[in-house]
Amino acid sequence: MFNKFKNIDDVNSCLRVNEECVIYYSSEYLLKLLDSGNLAVKFEHQFTRDFDCKVLKGNLFVSVDNDLLVLDVENLKWEKACQANGQYITALSDHRFLASSYRRKDKEYDNSIYDRDCNLLWEINGEMSFRDVYQSHLLLSDRRGNKIGYLNFKDCNLLWQRGLDSSINGESIETEKYIIIPLSVGLFAFDRQSGEKVWSIDNSLSHYSYDEQKDSLYGLISKSFEVVDVSTGNREVKKEFGEDLHIASHLTYYSNDLLYFSGYRDNNIPIFGAINVKNGNLVFTQEVEMPGEKSFRRGLDRPIIVGNRLYVRDAMKTLHVYEREDHPA
């Protein structure tokens, strides 16, 4: 169980949490960087509009249309990383940036990869664009998620492309050997090197959490928990539990043998909790106190667990910060 440590209001967008800092921006586009220990504000910067952000190797990359800015989180200094010819730019890694545009009339994309010095390395135009970003690879897909490609963005090598049995219906996962993709007809594993299908399972979820050490996928939805062996595609555990919980599969977070989740109890009471992935037992649930009437429209984002803290934002954009009971700061 967790004790409330602090509430932070107006956490509008771009919430990023790591061991060093908590980053977000307010509804007035004020970027804030907080010390992860006492949650005091260390740095602020006023933007004039929405933006996207990503933390990579101690740097905060901020995408404002086709401008990519980078903040050295340690020294708190800005520099311009890259300006691209496109509608949008994002950092794939601290050394690779991707610029892309969507041509609405043609329903096609222009994609370009740049190096750290903003030199153009690679271009591809057409029906495919980036979908999920991994350590050193990109999953490309067409707009409807019926066709995919696998690109190594370090050396800009497009390894393979292939069609799918149905459209993508969730977030893909890259493991040591496979790309695992939830499709609307089931969960499919493709070989990373060849793109060949390795296994598939029916009646799957749209989101799984990956445990790299055990090479397992953990899936949780409402009253059902399952474990999938990545190497074989076998469901090793499928467990139902009795509590009246409502959990969306993507609102889960794996950490240290526990699959944390947020959701509702009795349809509209916002809660977070955890499942022990070793046995599928529900370890705890805890209500999140929110002002106003309860509603299935006033739920919680996915919880984030960093160290002894659990961070979960509610629909009113208040970030609830909790500390584990048995591990006070």
Partner 1 sequence: MKTYFSILFKLLSFILYCYTFQSSTVIDSCLEICADAKCIHSPLDSLKGVLDEYNHTQVLLSSKKLDSYHMPLPGVCIMKALDDDMNFNSSFKDHINSTNGNGVKAWDALIAHPLIRKDVATLTSASKILDNTGIVNIISKTDLQSAVQKLASKGVRCRTCASGNPFYRYMDEILDDLEHGATKFGDSYKSVVTGIKQGNNFTEGAIFVADAVKRYGDDFPSNSVFEFTTKTTADNIRRVDVKVPNGFNGNKDVFFEFKSVLDVPPSGFATQFVKDMDLPDVTDLNQLKWWFDGKKVNSLPKQDFIDALEGATISQDIINKLVKTGPKTKEALIDLIDDDFDLIFFVK
Question: Which residues of this protein are in contact with partner 1, per CB under 8 A?
Answer: 12-14, 50-52, 86-88, 90, 100-102, 104, 107, 109, 111, 128-131, 141-143, 145, 168-170, 184, 203-206, 221-222, 246, 248-251, 262, 267-268, 293, 295-302, 315-316
Q: How far is the CB of 129 from partner 1 (least distance, A)?
A: 3
Provide the Cα torsion 252, 323, 31, 92; round to 10°: -40
Tell me whether residue 141 or residue 209 sits nearer to partner 1 (CB atom): 141
Cβ-proximal residues to 204 (8 Å cutoff; 6+ apart), any chain: 182, 186, 187, 219
Tell me whether residue 273 or residue 299 sits nearer to partner 1 (CB atom): 299
Tell me whether residue 205 or residue 321 sits nearer to partner 1 (CB atom): 205
The C-alpha angle with vertex 93 and arms to 70 and 86, in degrees rounded to 5, equals 70
Q: How far is the CB of 150 from partner 1 (least distance, A)?
A: 14
Provide the Cα torsion 296, 297, 301, 302; round to 10°: 30
Q: Is 118 exposed, middle or buried (0-12, 13-18, 19+ CB in 10 A)?
A: middle
Tell me whether residue 48 or residue 256 sits nearer to partner 1 (CB atom): 48
Closest by alpha carbon to 154, among 191, 113, 110, 99?
113
Q: How far is the CB of 68 from partner 1 (least distance, A)?
A: 13
d(CA 271, CA 162): 41
Q: How far is the CB of 212 from partner 1 (least distance, A)?
A: 23
d(CA 207, CA 185): 13
Q: How far is the CB of 87 from partner 1 (least distance, A)?
A: 5
Tell me whether residue 193 or residue 295 sits nearer to partner 1 (CB atom): 295
Q: What is the pairing mode between strands 2-8 and 319-324?
A: antiparallel
Tell me whether residue 27 or residue 213 sits nearer to partner 1 (CB atom): 27
Q: How far is the CB of 227 from partner 1 (least distance, A)?
A: 17
